[in-house]
Chains A and B, each alone.
Chain A
Amino acid sequence: MSEEKYYVPEQSALPIFCATAMGVMAFGAASWVIEGGDAKIFLVGLALMTIVMYKWWSLVIEENMQGLASPQLKHSYVLGMLWFIFSEVMFFAAFFGALFYVRVFVNAWIGGEASVVLFDNTPTDAATANNDILWPGYERQWPVMETPDQAVNGEEAIFKGPDKNMSLPLWEYPASQWFSKLYTLLPWLPLWNTVILLSSSVTVHFAHTALKEGNRNVFLRYLGITVMLGFFFLCLQVAEYYEAYVHYGLTLQSGIYGTTFFMLTGFHGAHVTLGTGMLLIQLIRGLKGHFSHEDQFGFEAASWYWHFVDVVWLGLFIVVYIFG
């Protein structure tokens, strides 16, 4: 019907296949992690999911090209994307919150100290009892280099802290030497990763401006640079993880420091991968000439996502690395 304003699509087989793929993946993932399990079922689900996603996005792009997407529908997409990003923010909030709670409260309590000092400075009996009875010998510390387990069980401990951590190298020196030791920052990967990610936020912004001005070549160039930067970031992160595992004795299993370090940076890395993928797809679409200066939702969505990933990194850089 032509007078219809809002495009309500015909029935479609994609959603239920997508749900099936999710179901198979969930079941497969569970049977994979269980001891003696394998990835077969999961991979079947993943294959199905890949096909469904490809078809689904192609369909949406096609509908878009046919002009079915009214401004109102596009606004629905905008809202969808923004609220999706908000949900991602809350996902990271759970992990940042866990880090905060462990550092500020748990660490003090099992170390027999008061945590936040509101009224007076004396640790309560409960706090010292935690230490005296459960983890005698454990001292409050961050990063946790010697776990409570080690404090009690020594060499027999199951959870062992790392040999070296990822924090700002300057902390190893007294404040008076910081200036003269600035050069120690040069080989510090997180700094470079910050530079890379921040610049990529700028380049993606340039790409956006160029697109709005209808400057296709500039748009493609900056978008290409952004994708490259995302890729560099990931390479450096791989290098960092390699360093951690091989030279620092820092692994996922090295107590709460390793846990929070790898979970936070790992999920961030996963999101960078996703974001780079999204931008890459937009680049391919751009090369095919899908965008016009009014119609650029796909690219805009990817770039919002990219800015979000960037902001998360800033948070990580501050709490995990600088004050890590």
Chain B
Amino acid sequence: MAHGPAEGITRWLYTTNHKDIGTLYLWFSFAMFLTGGFFAMVIRAELFQPGVQLVQPEFFIQMTTMHGLVMVFGAIMPAFVGLANWMIPMMIGAPDMALPRMNNLSFWILPFAFAILISTLFMEGGGPNFGWTFYAPLSTTYAPDSVNYFIFAVHIMGASSIMGSINIIATVMNMRAPGMTYMKMPLFVWTWLITAFLLVAVMPVLAGAVTMMLMDINFGTSFFNAAGGGDPVLFQHVFWFFGHPEVYIIILPAFGVVSQIIPTFSRKPLFGYSSMVYATAAIAFLSFVVWAHHMFTVGMPIAGELYFMYATMLIAVPTGVKVFNWITTMYRGAITYETPMLFCIAFVILFTFGGFTGLMLSVAAADIQYHDTYFVVAHFHYVMVAGAVFSGTAAVYYWLPKWCGRMYDETMGKVQFWLAFIAFNITFMPQHFLGLAGMPRRYADYGLQFADWNMVSSVGAFLYGGAQILFLYNVVRTIMYGEPVKEAKVWEGAEGLEWLVPTPAPYHTFIRPPVVTSSAAGEDEWSISGATPHVAFKAAPGAG
């Protein structure tokens, strides 16, 4: 094995190094974030005022579709896979991911998949125009030809996700340093292990859904056609059997990140480590049995409505355990408010808010009013933007010094945080009001009574877009000119193996696994050969 990175472009094209691949994922994800963000700007510009202003309705709906697809599959998911690649081997003391070449394959599929997906916008008949949930028959009988490109793009990005997840599972199960038992793993590793399991379980179901579409469109089958004995509602069942676990695929790694950062800046170990693990597992399990809460208005039997309502509400219990634990971790901690911590605190508040609106939506009778309105849009942006995107941003600020050996500009970070936080709320808070007042989602135009809040929301969206440019600037500036950091432990309160390796993290870490010994106080002491022992990982009470 070579000691440093290869020279030139092949370093990135041919790499087998988890850190390089992590970096690729993160940059790709940011590029997609800006692309999806651009689509969002088109949407909000059109909705700035009532009436058809900038784009035709046919194009508007392509924008909402692409915005959702690109953000979910291109921005958020790859961002967390990037973090997993960088951090999991370093957190469990492994030399690399278990299957390094497959790791590189998983990444390089993505640019192809998204090139195909985005190219559909320029095709005859336009791009996908059926929403990111691509309900049949909009996506079958009435779809443009480009739907076929969409289908195969989904196929290969699914293959990428499955391989990526298998790699993560194999890494966590097989590559932990001796002494790193399951119940000593950092929570980020745990949440990713469970997320990877969810991915392997549901990505194939998504593949099944698009395969059924492909057959209905081109080969005369009747999965989603009642004339032949099938049912369009079948599509919704298959899709949401994938789709609801998918939203937890998005949020669980975010939970993991927050569970790493809050203890660091509270200078206290995470409260209730093992309950965090069990809560994560419970959420993952429940996510398989609640999918039809997206379908309360579709005409399910009453027994179905009731079952899915109560099952959905149950998820609030383990989610509540997590929120409780984060708050209790902060309670009486010596808290400092660096940028990552600010984003995490905002996460806890805003995610909880989104959870509450979720709870409102889970009331089947009430959902008949809320369904397909901006209230739903507001709900899922609170959990996905203030949840997943905020925690992803926090993670970048938190680990960036470890990755590149330079410190970001704290003032600029804080400015970015406040800009993002305020702009986010200006954008999405009014959408609750719009939705409750009855404004439907996915339309290019709206009634005059919705005009004021829409204008506010659009202004917020442009500000939020601006905050991302500031983020990009801060990250690039840090990598190029940031203040060098030398300490292995960049943050005073940080615990974990990644803070034991030098800063910046060398190209290969843990070529020899770290060694763990037990101190007099019964705490684990980790050391890497050559360095003096540090107490790097205190086992949580009751754990391990």
Contact = CB atoms under 8 A, between A and B. Distances in A.
Interface in B1-48: 1-2, 6, 10-11, 13-17
Given A9-B101, A34-B148, A1 B229 contact: no
Given A16-B13, A22-B156, A98-B234, A149 B174 contact: no
Interface stretch (B65-73, B111-119, B277-285, B364-372): B111-119
Nearest to B151: A30
Given A95-B208, A98-B223, A12 B14 contact: yes
Interface stretch (B76-84, B197-205, B422-430): B197-205
Interface stretch (A208-216, A255-263, A298-306): A255-263
B470 interface: no
Contacts of B108: 15-16, 18-20
Residue picked from B14, B162, B203, B208, most chain A C-beta under 10 Å? B208
Q: Say what secondary structure dominates the interface of chain A.
A: helix
A23 B156 contact: yes
Contact of A259 (B11, B115, B116, B215): B215
A259 B149 contact: no
B480 interface: no
A41 B287 CA distance: 40
Given A6-B175, A83-B170, A106-B234, A93 B205 contact: yes
A76 B174 contact: yes
A80 B166 contact: yes
A8 to B, nearest CB: 5
Nearest to B119: A27
Interface residues of B, number: 83
Contacts of A84: 162, 166
A106 B230 contact: yes
A149 B2 contact: no
Given A11-B14, A259-B215, A259-B222, A149 B228 contact: yes
Nearest to A256: B229
B317 interface: no
Contacts of B485: none
Contacts of B94: 6
A252 B219 contact: yes
Give the most central of A8, A102, A255: most B CB within 10 Å. A8
Contacts of B508: 8
Contacts of A88: 204
Interface of B: 1-2, 6, 10-11, 13-17, 94-96, 98-102, 104-105, 108-109, 111-113, 115-116, 145, 148-149, 151-153, 155-156, 159, 162, 165-167, 169-170, 173-175, 200-205, 207-209, 212, 214-215, 217-223, 225-231, 233-234, 237-238, 241, 299, 301, 303, 508, 511-513
Given A31-B149, A33-B148, 12 more contacts: A6-B96, A11-B14, A13-B13, A72-B175, A87-B200, A87-B203, A97-B238, A101-B237, A252-B215, A252-B219, A258-B221, A263-B221
